[in-house]
Amino acid sequence: MKIQIFIYAGMTTLDMMGPLQTWQSWPDAEFQIVAEQAGVVDTDTALSVVATHGFEDAWDSPDILFVPGGAEGTFNLLNNEKVLAFLADRGSRAKWVTSVCTGSIVLGAAGLLEGYKATSHWFARDMLASFGASPVADRWVIDRNRATGGGVTAGIDFGLALMSRICGEGLARESQLRMEYSPKPPFQSGTPEEAWPETLAAVRAEYS
């Protein structure tokens, strides 16, 4: 199983790490961390990530193409023809085309979600319609060979769902148990519908 993860400056670290940690126990999995050029890539946290490969030596036909999301760094990619061409090319041959958070917006811009149901972070989800996708307000969505996750923390849910679909529920359950993934947040504020009005207003202001 060749899992190709595309990374870029300003991406959200947890968007990548949630699925990556989930998939560590994937049988016979190989991982390739790809950026435009191999080397250190800054994220939206204090943590940087090393791309093992650049576009020129990345797998031609990955089993899974995965794109994490982010904020400003993600939307900068929408005008990056080199990135969009790379994703369109690899996505045309990948068995699965996948993302978490606003990574789905990048997939959409690359022409890979037209006619598919998909999700994203709540603040960007409606943008999917601009690329011919059907936005769905779920933690994860699988439509044929397209699998997308909601914002940031949804990456673990997405990762388990995809692993279950491909490898079977038993292996996915084992991965969940290894991670002790049984979330019990101290309060319910993870969606616009759950958040206090003042909380929602404050976060919306950050995105405006």
Helical H segments across 103-153, by residue range: 103-109
Instruction: Out of 49, 101, 127, 172, pick the active-site residue.
Output: 101
For the question of residue 101 being annotated catalytic, the response is yes
d(CA 172, CA 142): 16
Rounded to 5°, the CA angle 98-181-124 comes to: 40
Contacts for 158 with CB less than 8 Å, ≥ 6 apart:
18, 19, 98, 100, 139, 140, 147, 148, 149, 150
d(CA 16, CA 78): 19
d(CA 123, CA 52): 31
d(CA 64, CA 57): 16
Which residues carry out catalysis? 101
